Amino acid sequence: MKSALKIAIAGLGTVGGGTLQLLERQAETIALRAGRRIVVGAVSARDRRRDRGVNLSAVRWYDDPVTMAADPEIDILVELIGGSSGVALDVIDTALAHKKHVVTANKALMAEHGTRLAEQAEAAGVTLAFEAAVAGGIPIIKTLRESLAGNRLSRVYGILNGTCNYILTTMRESGREFGEVLGEAQKLGYAEADPSFDIDGVDAAHKLAILASVAFGRPVDLAGVYTEGIRHISRLDIDFAEELGYRIKLLGIARLTDHGLEQRVHPCMVKRGTPIAAVEGVFNAVVAEGDFVGRVVLEGRGAGAFPTASSVASDLVDIAAGRQVAPFGVPAAGLAATPGAAMEYHEGAYYIRLMVVDQPGVIADIAAALRDERVSMEAMIQRGRAPGEAVPIVLTTHGSVEAAMRRALDRIAALDSVLESPRMIRIEDF
């Protein structure tokens, strides 16, 4: 067996602690699969007294993780600090500059700096691995980059944020409103005290930008991801979706269109019978569609200490075994400058919910606004009669262009009989 591979771990939070425990418990299995032992030689964390479930008395501690990244005795730097810049970025830059392999679970950093870091790693002749950065324990990066390498992919989509999926699932099952369920998610530890990163779609956008780069061989383009969260989803929308045969999910979707690569994160209505609709609670799922393989669905835990540590270990084993591939599937110089498709060109069906005054002529005015923008209505739901009172009206449309749909909604919102901004959810045909 080859000599042991020595790693340094920067950051011993939830994932760092889980990684330490996995490497200790699975040491023999990992050594067999990697062809050599993987040994933790150094760590860096702010609190030395915290119990990580592993004896670290024989491991070198560094107060400064950047100094640790330059340690000549270390072969691989594992970055688990988090954050798109600052210390995390300095640690990775330093490790690559000293020709050390890097494994990271940092989605924000890879979404913003991934292309440059891939170029730097290739120039140094080392690996930059980030399986743990997207969807926790689901091996989606390796699946797209390696297992599906013989396919031309047309679409990649999925549930990329467990917090949002938990909230939407619980709203449907309990009949409660968004704010109440969010508070429960925070108490359970599924949502942060400031939940905006999750519920506004930012976390999912980071992950989608990485997936799109791997799937379609283009530079990472976080700025090109259209992002919309779930704050505006109400119990009414959940109930109407059920009545219409749909489930509401926050999805990240990347697909090739005639206008370029579409990257978007937003709530979607999906048919109840589709695989993605059945993914509930904090679970994640990713679907890839290729020309030879057809549809591939991966589902699992998208976060947490051990699922994410599982992906970190996968990257470590690959490096130890000498399996080295370009970070994004093709050399950085070969990443194609595929143009991005603006959201205004998106074509699809829509769900629209309106709160209107129940009075004669309301439906005719709404229909006229849709007609003038060449938006074709598929179905309408109106509950009972309450003359002079506020009532909800729900419309679904046939396939329409986003720009036309938005113009129609602007006209509808300006009607005196419409009491609040129209709520729009895109309907996806999977």
In a domain, 389, yes or no: yes
pLDDT number for residue 50: 85
Interval 260-304: pLDDT, tens: 999 999 999 999 999 999 999 999 999 999 999 999 999 999 889
128 and 145 share one domain:
no
In a domain, 97, yes or no: yes
Q: In what order do the strands lie in the sheet with 128-129?
A: 60-62, 38-44, 5-10, 76-79, 101-104, 128-129
Interval 138-182: pLDDT, tens: 999 999 999 999 999 999 999 999 999 999 999 999 999 999 999
pLDDT number for residue 384: 65
Q: What is the sign of the dihedral through the CA atoms of 120, 124, 125 and 130?
A: negative
Tell me the percentage of the chain whose pLDDT exceeds 90.
90
215 and 364 share one domain:
no
- Would the pLDDT of 69 be above 70? yes
Pull the structure tokens for residue 76: 């691989």
CA distance 311 to 6: 18
In a domain, 102, yes or no: yes
- Type of residue found at 187: K
Tell me the percentage of the chain whose pLDDT exceeds 70.
99
CA distance 297 to 275: 8
- Residue 194: how many CB atoms within 10 A of its CB? 9
Contacts of 142 (CB under 8 A, 6+ apart): 131, 314
What 3-state class would DSSP assign to 427? strand
- Would the pLDDT of 52 be above 90? no
- Type of residue found at 25: R
CA distance 194 to 356: 33
CA distance 226 to 209: 10
Contact yes or no for 37/321 (Cβ under 8 A): no
93 and 209 share one domain:
no
In a domain, 56, yes or no: yes
Contacts of 430 (CB under 8 A, 6+ apart): 157, 270, 271, 274, 276, 287
pLDDT number for residue 141: 98
Q: Where in the sequence is the domain holding 18, given as residue range(s)?
A: 5-133
In a domain, 339, yes or no: no
- Would the pLDDT of 1 be above 80? no
Catalytic residue among 100, 207, 249, 271: 207
Question: What is the mean pLDDT of the segment spanning 84-104?
Answer: 97
Domain boundary among 106, 133, 160: 133
Contact yes or no for 226/263 (Cβ under 8 A): yes
CATH number of the domain that residue 210 is part of: 3.30.360.10
Hey, which of 13-17, 226-230, 387-391 has the most confident mean pLDDT?
226-230
94 and 47 share one domain:
yes
pLDDT number for residue 383: 75
Question: What is the mean pLDDT of the segment spanning 370-387?
Answer: 87
Interval 317-354: pLDDT, tens: 999 999 999 999 999 999 998 899 999 999 999 999 99
239 and 375 share one domain:
no
Contacts of 282 (CB under 8 A, 6+ apart): 162, 163, 165, 166, 190, 301, 302, 303
220 and 273 share one domain:
yes
163 and 223 share one domain:
yes
160 and 208 share one domain:
yes
In a domain, 332, yes or no: no
145 and 221 share one domain:
yes
Contact yes or no for 425/230 (Cβ under 8 A): no
Angle between helices 27-34 and 14-25 (to 10 degrees): 80
Active-site annotation holds for 207: yes
Contact yes or no for 350/396 (Cβ under 8 A): yes
Q: What is the DSSP secondary structure assignment for residue 143, as one 8-state letter?
A: I
Domain boundary among 81, 99, 133: 133
pLDDT number for residue 80: 97
pLDDT number for residue 359: 87
CA distance 383 to 306: 48
Pull the structure tokens for residue 94: 């330093």
CA distance 117 to 109: 10
Task: Give the residue among 159, 131, 160, 161 at the shortest CA–CA distance from 143.
Answer: 131
Q: Which H/E stretch holds residue 267?
A: strand 260-271
45 and 168 share one domain:
no
Angle between helices 86-97 and 107-124 (to 10 degrees): 10
CATH number of the domain that residue 416 is part of: 3.30.70.260
Q: Which H/E stretch holds residue 401?
A: strand 400-401
Domain boundary among 99, 116, 133: 133
Q: How far is CA 326 from CA 74, 120, 316, in A?
A: 22, 11, 15
Q: Which residues pair with 147 in a beta bridge?
A: none
Backbone phi, then psi, for 424, in 5-degree steps? Answer: -120, 130
Q: How far is CA 386 from CA 225, 356, 358, 359, 391, in A?
A: 42, 11, 6, 9, 7
In a domain, 330, yes or no: no
Question: What is the mean pLDDT of the segment spanning 44-72?
Answer: 91
Q: Which residues pair with 251 in a beta bridge?
A: 266
pLDDT number for residue 107: 97
163 and 84 share one domain:
no
- Would the pLDDT of 61 be above 90? yes
Contacts of 286 (CB under 8 A, 6+ apart): 135, 138, 140, 156, 157, 158, 159, 160, 211, 297, 298
Question: What is the mean pLDDT of the segment spanning 96-101?
Answer: 98
151 and 279 share one domain:
yes
Q: Which H/E stretch holds residue 208?
A: helix 202-216
The count of domains in the chain is 3
